[in-house]
């Protein structure tokens, strides 16, 4: 735990969807929270207001997580303003779906850059602080698409599979310093990414989910809350699915 009264967590993609739910859940758990976002300042300010109401000190910053210098600056600013990091959650992500034959180079590069490179830059900027203090936990956000693949999502699935390989490798590398690294693989979660689906598409997809519903972002945040807590002290290098039985 950090030197202050509350532990400190950093969450990327914290203004919307799963990241937003993680910010408020960790604030409820007693963390001070730094969150970054790409462009929606209004949404970031709203989630910061909610986390502050839960007793957290909150730092917000707009940045491109794929930019190594920006990632380092954000991590340094977090530790200067809030204290040494205890947990990092990499939730920033985008989709640019298309069949591979129709996918353009920018659609491929944008997804890989934000999802995979963004995970690397934040973890790379954070891990030395963890190593020096021989403590810390990292949760990366993968997807069922990264485990099993998904048609028209070769870019997204590649980025999320890369996150799994990255996370497992890092867990082996830094475990001797007391640092835990795990990855969460959500299935169909009710967020702005699924809001644009037609009712017909939703019905078709839900027919494949044994529990018969979309998951909630708060349910993913509950899993993240567990993984960064002492209750998960012997869990590292794992990929934990939360998908309503989709891949059974």
CA dihedral 60, 63, 66, 71 (to 10 degrees): -60
For residue 205 the two structure tokens come to: 């997809």
User: On the CB side of 92, how many CA atoms lie within 13 Å of its CA?
Assistant: 32
User: Containing H/E element for 202?
Assistant: helix 199-206
Alpha carbon distance 166, 168 (integer Å): 6
- At which residue do the structure tokens 């920006």 appear? 70
Active site residue ranges: 156
* Structure letter (DSSP) for residue 234: T
For residue 86 the two structure tokens come to: 């205890």
Q: How many helices (H) and strands (E) does the chain have?
A: 9, 9
């Amino acid at each position: 735990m950090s030197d202050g009264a509350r532990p400190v967590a950093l969450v990327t993609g914290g203004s919307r969807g799963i990241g937003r739910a993680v910010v408020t859940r960790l604030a409820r758990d007693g963390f001070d929270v730094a969150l970054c976002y790409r462009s929606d300042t209004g949404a970031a300010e709203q989630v910061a207001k909610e986390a502050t109401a839960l007793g957290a000190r909150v730092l917000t910053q707009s940045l491109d997580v794929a930019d190594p210098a920006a990632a380092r600056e954000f991590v340094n600013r977090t530790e200067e303003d809030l204290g040494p990091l205890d947990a990092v959650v990499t939730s920033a992500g985008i989709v640019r779906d298309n069949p591979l034959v129709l996918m353009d180079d920018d659609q491929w590069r944008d997804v890989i850059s934000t999802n995979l490179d963004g995970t690397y830059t934040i973890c790379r900027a954070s891990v030395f602080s963890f190593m020096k203090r021989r403590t810390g936990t990292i949760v990366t956000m993968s997807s069922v698409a990264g485990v099993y693949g998904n048609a028209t999502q070769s870019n997204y699935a590649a980025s999320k599979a890369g996150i799994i390989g990255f996370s497992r490798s890092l867990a082996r590398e830094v475990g001797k310093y007391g640092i835990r690294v795990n990855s969460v693989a959500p299935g169909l979660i009710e967020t702005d990414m699924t809001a644009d689906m037609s009712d017909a598409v939703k019905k078709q997809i839900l027919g494949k989910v044994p529990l018969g519903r979309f998951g909630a972002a708060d349910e993913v945040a509950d899993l993240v809350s567990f993984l960064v807590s002492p209750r998960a002290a012997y869990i590292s290098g794992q990929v934990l699915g939360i998908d309503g039985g989709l891949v059974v």
